Amino acid sequence: MIWDQADGELRRTFAERGFIACSDAMMAVLRQASKAAQLSDITVLLEGETGTGKQVLARAIHQLDQKRHSRPFVTVHCSTINETLAESEFFGHERGAFSGAVSPRKGLFQAAQGGTALLDDVNDLPLPLQAKLLDVLQRRVVRAVGSDRETAIDVRIMAASNRPLAELVRQNTFRADLYYRLNVVHLSLPPLRERFAELCPLILEFARRHHEVYPGITRVDGELTAHLASQRFEGNVRELEHCVQRMLFAKTEGTSLGVEDWMSQCQDSRNETSREMVRDAAHTLWRVVSREGLSCADVLRLTERYLLEIAMSSGPQTRRDLAQRLRTSERTLYHKLRSHALTSRSASA
């Protein structure tokens, strides 16, 4: 691949801060991120599935921020925040503000004073807290629980969402006014399955990062990346990193990672879980055969029919989507649908 000078530099700048990227889509994101880093007061919204690197990118932006990099970077996990204690988490409390508040405590925004506050999984923030957060964003002051004084905050706000916030706004589970406040610079991180060009550099980075598990990996076989490109990676880059760790753990010799390393580890553990699930299901089916008097063939046939129906009801899709979802060919799917006399408008063509 050929990089123009600027892209190469951008890539290195972020790689030095732990964020690996090279696909066109991600380079576009990095260009925006680097611009945002220079504008220390601008709010940044990062969207992407879980494990796509939102938090790593947010931290990299903070580190590149000339005004704020030597000040704190504080993350609050909105999905685990305790709703009753949230106000104190955000704004701090005075001593004796409520039972249990034996000493005063700084909240998120004051802890991040001068630096950056990342609201992680902001999509999980309960509506009452969304209103409180909106107020902070508008007025840039906080008041600790039990205090009558307001404190001005000088903090860059970043928010990460693992679901498209605009959609949640339409569903009325996220406040539109807060969304507009957060959505100033919008960075959208594509899922790993849409940027498989990055597999190889990412794998090498993780092999380097976890060299204490197994040292000296310098190559990734093309066959391995080709094989991985057929995986879904629901857990995105985080899942890939864990797989690399498992491959390294199982490795005993050599300087390259290949398909056999993948097979011996990742695939094994996944297959084992799947086999257990199927075994559980088989126990249920056995009860039907043994008690209800249906033949094994009838039960298997019915099972197939229900699998087809379940897959068909999992959203609108073409026959090609459906075949992919069922891990079969379109031709086989066509015959199966016919043999079960199943037709579905959604599964047509």
Ligand X SMILES: Nc1ncnc2c1ncn2[C@@H]1O[C@H](COP(=O)(O)OP(=O)(O)O)[C@@H](O)[C@H]1O
C-beta closer to ligand X: residue 51 or 92: 51
Residue 193 binding target from ligand X, Mg ion, none, CB below 5 to 8 Å by type: none
11 near ligand X (CB under 6 A): no
What mask of x and - would describe binding to ligand X in positions 24 to 53, judged by CB under 6 A?
------------------------x-xxxx
Q: What is the rounded distance in angstroms from the CA atom of residue 275 to the CA atom of residue 269?
A: 10
Q: What is the rounded distance in angstroms from the CA atom of residue 267 to the CA atom of residue 275?
A: 12
Give the nearest distance from C-beta 43 to ligand X in angstroms. 17
185 near ligand X (CB under 6 A): no
Q: What is the rounded distance in angstroms from the CA atom of residue 299 to the CA atom of residue 295?
A: 6
C-beta closer to ligand X: residue 173 or 188: 188
Q: What is the rounded distance in angstroms from the CA atom of residue 249 to the CA atom of residue 27?
A: 32
C-beta closer to ligand X: residue 16 or 177: 16
Query: Interface with Mg ion by CB under 5 A: which range of 54-62, 201-209, 253-261, 281-289?
Result: 54-62
Q: What is the rounded distance in angstroms from the CA atom of residue 180 to the CA atom of residue 168?
A: 13
Q: What residues from 231 to 260 belong to the interface with ligand X (CB under 6 A)?
A: 237-238, 241
Residue 237 binding target from Mg ion, ligand X, none, CB below 5 to 8 Å by type: ligand X
56 near ligand X (CB under 6 A): yes
20 near ligand X (CB under 6 A): yes
Q: With 0-12 CB in 10 A as exposed, 13-18 as middle and 19+ as buried, what is 111?
A: middle
DSSP string, 95-118: TTSSTT--S-EE-HHHHTTTSEEE
Phi, psi of 29 (to 5 degrees): -65, -45
Q: What is the rounded distance in angstroms from the CA atom of residue 296 to the CA atom of residue 79?
A: 46
19 near ligand X (CB under 6 A): yes
Binding residues for Mg ion (CB under 5 A): 55
